[in-house]
Amino acid sequence: MIEVKNIQKKFGDKVVIENVSAQMKPGQCNLIIGASGSGKTVLMKCMVGLLTPDQGEICYQGENFFSMRQEQHTAIRKEIGMLFQGSALFDSLSVEQNIMFPLDMFTKDTSAQKLKRVNEVLERVSLKDVNHKFPAELSGGMKKRVALARAVVLNPKYLFCDEPNSGLDPQTSLVIDKLIKDLTVEFNITTVVNTHDMNSVMETGDYILYMYQGKKEWEGTRQDIIFSNNKLLNDFIFASEFLKDAKDMRMLEQTGKMPNFRNMDDMIKP
Ligand X SMILES: Nc1ncnc2c1ncn2[C@@H]1O[C@H](COP(=O)(O)OP(=O)(O)OP(=O)(O)O)[C@@H](O)[C@H]1O
Residues in touch with Mg ion (CB under 5 A)? 41, 85
Q: Does residue 37 bind other proteins (CB under 8 A)?
A: no
CB of 74 to other proteins, least distance (A): 5
Total residues contacting other proteins (rule CB under 8 A)?
Answer: 21
Helix (H) or strand (E) holding 231: helix 231-237
DSSP assignments along 117-182, one per residue: HHHHHHHHTT--S-TT--GGGS-HHHHHHHHHHHHHTT--SEEEEESTTTTS-HHHHHHHHHHHHH
Total residues contacting ligand X (rule CB under 6 A)?
Answer: 11
Q: Are 181 and 206 in contact (CB under 8 A)?
A: no
Among 28, 30, 38, 98, indicate the residue that binds ligand X (CB under 6 A): 38
Q: Does residue 11 bind ligand X (CB under 6 A)?
A: yes
Residue 11 near which of Mg ion, other proteins, ligand X, none (CB within 5-8 Å, type-dependent): ligand X
Candidates 160, 162, 199; CA nearest to 178 is 199
Q: Are 236 and 33 in contact (CB under 8 A)?
A: yes
Q: Does residue 74 bind other proteins (CB under 8 A)?
A: yes
CA distance 252 to 269: 18
CB of 90 to other proteins, least distance (A): 6
- Name the residue with the smallest CB distance to Mg ion: 41
Residues of this chain, 55-114, that bind ligand X according to CB under 6 A: 85
Question: Angle between the 140-152 and 111-124 helix axes, to the nearest 10 degrees?
Answer: 130
Among 2, 28, 33, 39, indicate the residue that binds ligand X (CB under 6 A): 39
Binding site for other proteins (CB under 8 A): 45, 48, 50, 74-75, 77-78, 80-82, 84, 86, 88-91, 101-102, 104-106
In the complex, which residues of this chain contact ligand X (CB under 6 A)? 11, 16, 34, 36-42, 85
